[in-house]
Amino acid sequence: DAGVIQSPRHEVTEMGQEVTLRCKPISGHNSLFWYRQTMMRGLELLIYFNNNVPIDDSGMPEDRFSAKMPNASFSTLKIQPSEPRDSAVYFCASSTRTGRGNYGYTFGSGTRLTVV
Amino acid sequence: AQTVTQSQPEMSVQEAETVTLSCTYDTSESDYYLFWYKQPPSRQMILVIRQEAYKQQNATENRFSVNFQKAAKSFSLKISDSQLGDAAMYFCAYLETYNTDKLIFGTGTRLQVFP
């Protein structure tokens, strides 16, 4: 398996522009997570899906952020309009429960977003 | 709400020596998982070791082992025979077993390894 695949790896955009981050989870994993990492706030969970359904979006900072999971193999995180304070590394992770003692939680390589 | 605390922002160790990173957590649950993740400069989050709360035996993965003290809600990571490649940020994380799939992270410890 290729692991969790995120694109792009780096994104530089101007303030006010729309940004879309993409994630392909590991095949067979039924939960998908979006995290944001900054120096000030560390790793924050933004939203997670279970079986393509959003379960908890309490970490989404504001209405400018939205996430979708149209099918089991693809998810997007969109920021519109983007602001400089959105600059961070955004991680996608996927997981599955396959019985006690065999719980997998795998991260993608992250997207470094810079908003100028 | 569950919280994870890493009280050591930075640690350093000499190559081939042993270092212990501390982690404490707060929960009212009795069944959960605990993890240590490593984040090198490449920023990839790499799972180092996993512990299930119902298991009394401390988890071990090669040079990495944990000291899990359930009553004290403590979960420290010991790295033996430290190598230059161990230099990274280390994050402790907590996961409830049944009610949620949310992984809760500590603030991390930056480990430096000196030759």
Cβ-based contacts under 8 A for chains A and B: 45
**Alpha carbons B43 and B114: distance in angstroms, whole number:** 21
Q: What is the mean pLDDT of residues B53-63?
A: 91
**Nearest by CB to A31, which of B42, B44, B101?**
B101
Torsion of CA A1, B62, B47, B21, to 10 degrees: -170
Q: Which residues pair with A60 in a beta bridge?
A: none
User: What residue in A sits closest to B101 (Cα-Cα)?
Assistant: A31
The Cα A15–Cα B58 span in angstroms is 49
- Residues in B closer than 8 angstroms to A109, CB to CB, are 42-44
Inter-chain touch B101–A112, beta carbons under 8 Å: no
Task: Render each residue's pLDDT in chain A as its tens digit; 116 residues.
Answer: 679 999 999 999 999 999 999 999 999 898 999 999 998 888 999 999 999 999 989 999 889 999 999 999 999 999 999 999 999 999 999 998 766 555 668 999 999 999 99
Q: What is the DSSP string of B45-99?
A: -EEEEEEETT--SPPEETTEEEEEETTTTEEEEEE-S--GGG-EEEEEEEEESSS
B16 in reach of chain A (CB within 8 A): no
Selection from B42-56, B59-73, B97-111 with the highest mean pLDDT: B59-73
Of A43, A89, A103, the CB nearest to B33: A103
